[in-house]
Amino acid sequence: MLMETPEPLVPVAPAARKNRSAFPVPNFTQFTLSNKDSTCAQGAVSLLLHRLTPGSQVTYKYSLRRWCLWRRIRGKPVLLSEDNDAEETDMMEFVYYFGVVLGYAHSTLKVTLFALRYAHILGSTSGRDIIKDKLRLKLTLLGLKRLQSSPTRKYAVSVQMLKAVIAEQRGPTWDQIMLALAISMAFFFLLRASEYISKDGKVHTEKILLADDLSIYKKGVLLPWDQINQADELVINLRGSKTDVYNEGNKLNLTLTPGTEPLEHPLVLLRLAYAMKPAAFQGEHPFFTKDDNKTVISRAEVNKALKSAALKLGLDPDDHTTHSLRAGGATALWRAGWSPPKIKRRGRWLSDCWLIYIWPGREEADGIVEDVLALN
């Protein structure tokens, strides 16, 4: 009786570099000559998906529902045919119906079309770009953009408004303290909304600040949380963002001058929160979680607090949203004399788009006529 010869394994050299991503490492001991084709095919598709961040994957999946509904109503398959003229016409009519009739924003439908393009790249062997070279479709999107009113630029939260909103929210309950703390940290750390709060009940798990992402120090020495009253520095670790091209995260800090305890300082608010609930300061859960230990503070709650403070200051509440906190922090740093490179680094901006966040003060125009007329 002949002994069965085991199937030879295909030698594979694993990557020497540290794997920082969540991409699953294949089991090379099960990688044989008979299954290598299917394994490679599945792996190639996984790499295509891995090109998108987890947040983008969720956004694309949600956005495609509109297109699937559109095609189902018309009795057509989700993926388009090879007829370029017909498919372009269908996409143009989709933009018109959802943009003009149903009132969806130009930017929302643009994301849907990008999601549809990626679905075709994944779902067809040709991997063609269904948007490329479709001039009529691009002009249709531009027409919708022009038809819809431009978004109003949100005002920056001023220092006066920051003090007002924290004074109003800094109440006796855990939820109030955490809301005040969220607003304070968003302002001083120039946080994006996805980095600390939820939107429509959804949390960006790869971006949102966790309890374990906070640490405290005294004169550069790490302290345990039960010594928070002695701490003079707060450090946060932002694990990921859309501008973190190397996926290394960003560490930002704030210091507290000895002998001063401004009520708006994140470290001062942290001391109040720790005295209420020490257990909330450890673990891999979103830090700004409410007293029920499961609900994350929402964008709507932060917006409501900002609008309430705006009304009390005689300002238009519609001009202030979570975006105003990031703009307010950047404007405050500019007014305080920070250099552009320092502001960009603090806000994790890769380009000069941070300039649109800055609101100039009246005093910047002081003496402008005299200075110009004094020129030779």
Which residue type occupies 7? Answer: E
Q: Are strands 233-238 and 214-218 parallel, antiparallel or unpaired?
A: antiparallel
Q: What φ, ψ does residue 337 adopt, rounded to 5°?
A: 95, 10
Which residue type occupies 104? Answer: Y
Residue 6's pLDDT is: 43
Please provide the CATH number assigned to the domain covering 54-147. 1.10.150
Helix extents (H) in the chain? 36-50, 54-73, 84-96, 106-123, 135-147, 159-169, 174-188, 266-276, 299-312, 322-335, 340-347, 368-373
Residue 43's pLDDT is: 77
- Band (11; pLDDT cuts 50, 70, 90): very low
Q: Which of 27-36, 39-48, 100-109, 156-165 bottoms out in mean pLDDT, i.e. has the lowest?
A: 27-36
Residue 41's pLDDT is: 74
Transcribe 212-271 into DSSP letters: GGEEEEETTEEE-GGGGGG--EEEEEE---TT-TTS--EEEEEE--TT---TT-HHHHHH
- For range 215-231, the mean pLDDT: 96
Residue 149's pLDDT is: 75
Write the DSSP symbol of residue 317: G
Report which of residues 35 and 86 the model is more confident about: 86
- Band (15; pLDDT cuts 50, 70, 90): very low
| Homologous superfamily (CATH) for 159-361 | Intergrase catalytic core (1.10.443.10)
Q: Is the pLDDT of residue 278 over 90?
A: yes
State the chain's mean pLDDT as an integer: 86
Q: Is the pLDDT of residue 31 over 80?
A: no
Residue ranges of the chain that CATH labels 1.10.150: 54-147
Around Cβ 327, how many Cβ atoms within 10 Å?
A: 24
- Band (50; pLDDT cuts 50, 70, 90): confident
Residue ranges of the chain that CATH labels 1.10.443.10: 159-361
Query: In this structure, is the dihedral angle defined by the CA atoms of residues 46, 51, 55 and 56, taken in order, positive or negative?
Result: negative
Residue 47's pLDDT is: 82
The share of the chain scoring above pLDDT 70, in percent, equals: 87
Residue with tokens 């001063």: 260
- For range 351-361, the mean pLDDT: 89
Query: pLDDT, tens digit, for every residue of 318-327?
Result: 999 999 999 9
- For range 14-25, the mean pLDDT: 46
Which residue type occupies 260? Answer: T
Q: Is the pLDDT of residue 298 over 60?
A: yes
Distance CA(190)–CA(213), nearest Å, equals: 16
Q: Is the pLDDT of residue 125 over 80?
A: no
- For range 106-114, the mean pLDDT: 93
Radius of gyration of the chain (CA): 26
Q: Which of 34-38, 109-113, 127-131, 351-355 bottoms out in mean pLDDT, i.e. has the lowest?
A: 34-38
Q: Is the pLDDT of residue 20 over 60?
A: no
Q: Is the pLDDT of residue 150 over 80?
A: no
Residue 369's pLDDT is: 93
- Band (245; pLDDT cuts 50, 70, 90): low
SS3 25: coil
Q: Is the pLDDT of residue 166 over 90?
A: yes
Structure token digits, residue 227: 């010594």
Nearest Cα to Cα of residue 236 among 210, 256, 262: 210
Residue 29's pLDDT is: 58
Query: In this structure, is the dihedral angle defined by the CA atoms of residues 225, 229, 235 and 236, taken in order, positive or negative?
Result: positive
Report which of residues 171 and 230 the model is more confident about: 230
Structure token digits, residue 78: 């989700």
Highest mean pLDDT among 141-150, 170-179, 238-247, 357-366: 170-179
Q: Is the pLDDT of residue 199 over 70?
A: yes
- pTM attached to this predicted model: 0.75
- Band (190; pLDDT cuts 50, 70, 90): very high
